[in-house]
Amino acid sequence: MWPAVLSGVMLGAAFPPYGVAALAYIALVPLVVSLLRRHYTRSESFRAGFLFGFTFFLLLLWWVKNLLPWADVTIPWLMTPALILAVLYLSLYPALFCLLLNALGGGRLKAALLLGPALWTLLEIVRSRGELGFAWGAVGYSQSDYPGLIQLAEYAGVYGVGFVVLVVNFSFGAVLLSRGLVRRAAYGACGLLIVAATWKTGGLLMERARETDSSPLLTVGVIQPDIDLRIKWDPAFTDSIFGLIERQCLEASSRKPDIYIFPETAAPSYIKYEPPYRRRLSHLAVELGKPILIGFLDARRDPKSGEMNIYNAAGLFSDYGALVAQYDKNHLLPFGEALPLSWKFPILKKINFGQGNFQPGTSLEPIRFGTWSFGTIICFESIFPEISREYVRKGAGFLVNITNDGWFGDTPGPVQHAQMCIMRAVENRRYLVRSANSGISMIVDPAGTVVQSIGLFREGAIVDTIRILSKRTFYSRYGDLAVLIPSAFFILLGIRAGRRGSVRGRPAWSM
């Protein structure tokens, strides 16, 4: 089973902090070759996929166990068992992939070439859906640092980018599985040609995405306060934190931003119920003469049950000091911000695993102010393409991601999280503005290039001009349709090829 481990290591190394993105194009080759050449039984195929998944996800997510003990987790010793359980759960998806590839493909190379990329992509989409959805580690995200290789996302999203990477993997795997020099050369050339064509086409699409037009301009001020989580929720420091917010705004005001953007829960209070702090933000917006978007906690009583529900919210203070718009985070971090289904069964909130007990929001409407509007994405929501797509479909002219990754500490977590945001800009051809408490804050242009950024554990501000765009991409309009339809078609063809069985006198994996 060593090929499964090798594939897991190679795919893990394609992501930060290792970041050898090119490995993603060959990472699955050892696993695929071993599945087809060694005639695994279905149970052996399942075990190989599970071992691959365990290796990959452990290498990708090991840092979860290092969650900072003061980061609102009341039972820190649970983090290692939680990591193991999460990795075991996530490993079921590649295990199921290998099982289905064996069962449907009949061990034939032709069937595997048709089935493999499609099955993997559909399982990634399934893995990202629902309350337990977790898109972290989707193959397409490994390419986010190379804008020239991710431009297909405009049409097929992150899963379409991953689909191309998977096709290349199976092409290179066919080089080792095929007989005859000509056939092997053909498969190898096919894989290389796909990469070259992706890069060349990507360059052309990037040029088109950067073409200027008459779209309105907006100067954004992205603030990174770098507030230490050990003091953030200590009432003794609340005044000084609001003082920091005021100071950073006034320092950035010399560069004349049209809006100031602060991270998730940057205001450490229930500002609706603490008038002194709400007034400070209102007075600050009036003094600046510009709106301020800031994260805070909100509480509202359920009219039916009478229970007080807590929301992870973002609000916009207008230039005349009023709180004119609010967004409540829709997709909560499972087991971190809420237990799954606790919004439906409140008794689950009495179980204490150290999680928050937030209530999910129910609306994905862009925040509108004056002539412009934007979609607000809070923290974990940035890894789900359907959220950003919904905002753009409803008219958002740019995207704002506010987050507090400080609880990751000095681990690969913040880097991986920031990397995934880049794909949202390309999918929707929108500027993406990201404000993170302790980093990484950045502005990403519609071509997927990071225009400016602030690194980890630094206080600072980015002030830059973006465009408010209105055109919708194919992906913004139709979502994952460009991946789902071809995948279903290839699976049907693959099943048909697999049913033909082995040819007498030739190995099952042969053409």
* pLDDT on residue 337: 67
Contacts of 392 (CB under 8 A, 6+ apart): 375, 399, 428, 430, 472, 476
Q: Which residues are catalytic?
A: 264, 329, 379
The domain limits of the chain are 2-209+477-499, 217-327+367-469
Q: Does the pLDDT at position 199 exceed 70?
A: yes
pLDDT digits (tens, 9 = 90+) for 321-337: 999 999 999 988 776 66
* pLDDT on residue 37: 87
pLDDT above 70 covers a percentage of the chain that reads 91
Minimum mean pLDDT range among 184-193, 219-228, 345-354: 345-354
In this structure, the number of other CB atoms found within 10 A of the CB of residue 366 comes to 23
Residue 61: its H or E element: helix 42-61
pLDDT digits (tens, 9 = 90+) for 120-151: 999 999 999 887 888 999 999 999 999 999 99
- Pull the structure tokens for residue 97: 């992939």
Q: Does the pLDDT at position 505 exceed 50?
A: no
How many residues are there in the chain?
A: 511
- Second-level CATH architecture of 217-327+367-469: 4-Layer Sandwich (3.60)
- Please name the residue ranges forming H helices in 359-451: 385-393, 413-428
Contacts of 38 (CB under 8 A, 6+ apart): none
In this structure, the number of other CB atoms found within 10 A of the CB of residue 272 comes to 17
